[in-house]
Every structure is written in structure tokens, then in C-alpha cells.
């Protein structure tokens, strides 16, 4: 469970585990509940930090879900993805019960807090800008927007993303292409143009490399999931 005001990136250590990341609107947690929590507990400290406008620290609660708590998380996820009538009210109810479990079982979770470096904060803003403008962004334009030397900017991206500028642009375009494949009936050629390519070849190659299947196979697998969710809504 992550706080809202900073950049997040969690690494899954065990490949056999399922890692669920939740960022919860703090207004969904009642004031009365927070006030009743032990003020010396990590859970109370997490809520206080989550409501703070600071951006230098990175807080999260890590909890291994089993038994009843696991069913609560499954309930939250089901309501979130299906979005049936009153889904927000249902999520809030599940969440309130989950918070009660956390308060009762303080030894079962840990609260982690890290200070973010200045370069990490910059990198988060840069990465978001690249994603938002990946259809036409250039390194020269990016350097101008952030008032950085191009060499320094390239180094910040490489250090924080483990890929260079061009690779990051390509990754952003492929993510957008995957969304369009699963949520629209656009042709691959039209999707390629929409995400910034002049022809469909980079999409065919990129989707195959990233997801291990063709664009048509990706659409068949994930487009169906999207249609089912829309029907349930």
C-alpha cells in the first residue's frame, strides 16, 4: 500500500509471488478510524505521511495476505475491475475491514520509508513527460523543456531507467499501442501512426518482443478481457 505524493517503483523479489500495489485515496479512510489507531504504530505514521504534501520520502506498507485478509483484497480487486453498481461503496467497505486487520495484526506487516534523491524526483517528471509526448518527443526538445544539457539528461535517464532515451520512447509507444490493441478496433497501421510511427513494422516487431505474440494474438487475448469487463459494467 503506497502513499500518493511521490514516485513509486517496487521490485518483486520472489517470481512465484503475486505483487499487488494499491494507492488509496486518503479520503476513503474515515477520520474516526485514523484517530482511533495507536499513534505510535507504523500504520498511523503511514497515514500521516500519506496526507503530507512532501515529495522527498517514499512510504509503503508491505503485508503478506492470507486467509480472510486475502479475500478482502480479492474483493477490492473484483469491484475495481468490474465496476458494477455501488462499486466504490463496496471498495470502501472492504478497505475499512482490511485496515482493521492491519491495526489488529501489526506484527504481520512492515512500514518502509526511503528518502528520494533529487535526481530520482527529476527522473520521474522526465519519464512522465516522455510518456505523455512519446509520439513526437526528441532529446533536444526534452532538454529544452527541463533546461538540461542533453548529455546530462541522457545520463539521468540511463541511471534511473536502465535504458537510453530512444529505448524509453519506444517502450512508451509500445505501451500505448498495447492499450489501443486491447481497447479499440483500429488497424495496426492506424495504431502505429497514432503512437508516432510512419508504418506498422515497429509495432509488429515490438509487440512480438515485448509480449511474445503478434498484435492480432495480443488483441484476441486482451481485447476479449476488455469486452467482458465492459459488459459487466
pLDDT digits (tens, 9 = 90+) for 97-118: 888 888 887 777 776 665 555 5
Instruction: Please list the alpha-helical segments (H only) found in 83-214.
Output: 87-104, 118-132, 139-146, 150-161, 165-183, 188-195, 201-211
Residue 42 · residue 110 · CB < 8 Å: yes
- Structural domain boundaries in the chain: 26-115, 118-220
In whole angstroms, give the CA distance from residue 194 to residue 180.
9
Residues 6 or more apart in contact with residue 31 via CB below 8 angstroms: none
Residue 62 · residue 21 · CB < 8 Å: no
In whole angstroms, give the CA distance from residue 103 to residue 38.
8
Indicate whether 225 pLDDT > 70.
Answer: no
Consecutive H or E run containing 68: helix 67-82
Average pLDDT over residues 182-205: 93
Residues 6 or more apart in contact with residue 124 via CB below 8 angstroms: 7
Answer yes or no: CATH 2.60.120.10 is held by domain 118-220. Answer: no
Consecutive H or E run containing 50: helix 42-51
Q: Quick one: which of 19, 26, 36 has its CA closest to 5?
A: 26
Average pLDDT over residues 201-207: 95
Q: Looking at residue 117, what is its pLDDT?
A: 55
In whole angstroms, give the CA distance from residue 176 to residue 68.
37
Q: Could you give the 3-state DSSP secondary structure of residue 164?
A: coil
Indicate whether 21 pLDDT > 60.
Answer: yes
Indicate whether 122 pLDDT > 90.
Answer: no
In whole angstroms, give the CA distance from residue 47 to residue 66.
23
- 212 backbone φψ class: left, alpha, beta (φ>0; ψ -120 to 50): left
Q: Quick one: which of 32, 12, 28, 29 has its CA closest to 20?
A: 12
- pLDDT tier for residue 4 given thresholds of 50, 70 and 90: low
pTM of this structure: 0.51
Q: Could you give the 3-state DSSP secondary structure of residue 200?
A: coil
Amino acid at each position: 500500500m503506497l502513499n500518493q505524493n511521490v514516485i513509486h517503483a517496487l521490485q518483486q523479489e520472489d517470481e512465484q509471488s503475486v505483487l499487488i500495489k494499491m494507492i488509496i485515496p486518503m479520503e476513503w479512510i474515515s477520520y474516526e478510524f485514523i484517530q482511533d489507531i495507536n499513534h505510535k504504530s507504523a500504520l498511523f505514521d503511514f497515514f500521516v505521511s500519506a496526507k503530507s504534501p512532501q515529495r522527498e520520502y517514499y512510504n509503503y506498507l508491505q503485508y503478506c495476505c492470507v486467509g480472510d485478509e486475502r479475500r478482502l483484497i480479492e474483493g477490492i480487486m473484483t469491484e475495481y475491475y468490474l465496476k458494477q453498481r455501488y462499486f466504490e461503496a463496496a471498495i470502501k467497505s472492504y478497505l475499512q475491514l482490511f485496515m482493521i486487520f492491519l491495526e489488529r495484526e501489526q506484527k504481520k506487516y512492515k512500514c518502509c520509508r526511503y528518502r528520494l534523491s533529487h535526481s530520482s524526483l527529476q527522473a520521474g517528471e522526465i519519464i512522465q513527460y516522455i510518456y505523455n509526448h512519446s509520439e513526437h518527443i526528441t532529446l533536444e526538445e526534452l532538454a529544452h523543456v527541463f533546461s538540461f544539457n542533453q548529455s546530462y539528461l541522457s545520463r539521468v535517464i540511463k541511471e534511473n531507467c536502465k535504458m537510453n532515451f530512444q529505448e524509453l520512447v519506444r517502450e512508451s509507444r509500445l505501451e500505448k499501442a498495447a492499450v489501443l490493441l486491447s481497447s479499440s478496433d483500429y488497424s495496426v497501421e492506424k495504431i502505429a501512426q497514432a503512437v508516432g510511427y510512419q508504418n506498422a513494422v515497429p509495432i509488429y516487431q515490438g509487440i512480438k518482443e515485448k509480449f511474445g505474440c503478434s498484435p492480432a494474438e495480443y488483441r484476441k487475448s486482451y481485447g476479449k478481457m476488455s469486452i467482458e469487463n465492459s459488459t459487466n459494467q
